[in-house]
Amino acid sequence: MTKPTKPFLQALSGEALPRPPIWLMRQAGRYLPEYRELRTRAKDFLDFCYTPEMAVEATLQPIRRFGFDAAIIFSDILVIPDALGQPVRFVTGEGPKLEPIRSARAIDQLDGERPEAFLAPVYAALRATRAALPVETALIGFAGAPWTLAAYMIEGAGSRDYATARKFALAEPAAFNRLISILEDQVARHLIRQIDAGAEAVQIFDSWAGALPAYGVEAWSLGPIRRIAERIKAERPEARMIAFPRGADAFMAAYAACPAIDAVSLGQSAPTSAFSAVRDAGAVPQGNLDPVALIQGGAVLDREIDAILAASAGRSHVFNLGHGITPETPIAHVEHLVARVRGKA
Ligand code: CP3
């Protein structure tokens, strides 16, 4: 195999570069005026995701503006429940809404044969994006982790602590485990199809891993993610795998120790010492600038950027936020961040 020359892929292979590659979670989105303009032309958010021309344009907007080292395909983690036949709506200002699934019967009604054709627009958008990207820019595909998807599917919306989903897991273990294993299979298939459409790396977002009780981590988060990563490595060995078990800070080294996981993304609650813990366990750390420090800017932002750069100097690292960029983030702060990480500010 020829050595990858894209800095993002080099870093994911464990190379220490003079400057870490950088991309930002939610880098396409409402903080960009060109995104807000494009968004007005779509009927609703999922329609936007399922219209390849619009998804490609949204994916490319932050690359044109900031020259990030990787593009992440414009889509959403909730396309999987939507494709399985549990319709998802996005209510402006309220977030996602689904008809909650709370019985074995409802789980049996999910249609595992539907997603491949239903999600064809996502794969079309990946192919067109890959053809349009600069040669040095890598393309990332993604999916939600089984636990985070199950949490939305059972709650029917976002939640502070996902207590309804956790209660369902304990009260109906057979049904819950069946849902997790359906999602494990569907997430793996969705990621493999994204790789076949041009994604060079895939990230699994376990955004609510921090809401899990310690006894549930192996069964509902780490185990499913490990098996998804192993299946992808077995079937598509060239693809790079990033896991983002947000908030499960006590377990980061366990995710990093999975041979099929190349990188572990850290939330802003992880201390910089977690970078070496991740590397010592065999993965590359990604993260973990506080998105609020990016809103604040100035001396606070520089201090936090420099702390991350110093903690990984001479070691492999992918620079990112600890969570998604928020709509109120000033564009000038993002420009400054990119310049500083590249040693130009
Ligand atoms: O990162 C990117 O630029 C790629 C696109 C992307 C989106 N969502 C677009 C989006 C990615 C990778 C996601 C992942 C996602 N979606 C996660 C995991 C990451 C995380 O934030 O923890 C989750 C939990 C979701 C579910 C989701 N989608 C919620 C809760 C919301 C509503 C909250 C909000 O920010 O509005 C969304 C909507 C969404 N997904 C938007 C975007 C750009 C905003 C919708 C709009 O433009 O109206």
The residue ranges of DSSP E strands in the chain, in sequence order, are: 70-72, 88-91, 95-98, 138-144, 201-206, 240-245, 263-265, 284-289, 318-321
Model-level pTM greater than 0.95?
Answer: yes
Closest atom of ligand 1 relative to the 207 alpha carbon:
22
pLDDT given at position 2: 60
User: In the predicted model, what is the mean pLDDT of residues 107-129?
Assistant: 98
User: In the predicted model, what is the mean pLDDT of residues 97-118?
Assistant: 97
pLDDT given at position 186: 98
- Encode pLDDT of 312-328 as tens digits: 999 999 999 999 999 99
CB of residue 304 inside a 6 A radius of ligand 1: no
> 263: which strand partners?
242, 284
pLDDT given at position 4: 64
pLDDT given at position 92: 86
- Encode pLDDT of 184-204 as tens digits: 999 999 999 999 999 999 999
Q: How far is CA 20 from CA 52, 161, 210, 282, 318, in A?
A: 31, 34, 27, 18, 6
Distance 280 CA to ligand 1 centre (A): 31
- Taking CA atoms only, the protein residue closest to ligand 1 atom 36 is 95
pLDDT surpassing 70 at residue 20: yes
CB of residue 96 inside a 6 A radius of ligand 1: yes
* Catalytic center residues: 26, 30, 39, 76, 152
Domains of the chain: 7-341 (3.20.20.210)
User: In the predicted model, what is the mean pLDDT of residues 102-120?
Assistant: 97
Residue where the block lists tokens 């958010």: 45
- Encode pLDDT of 274-296 as tens digits: 999 999 999 999 999 999 999 99
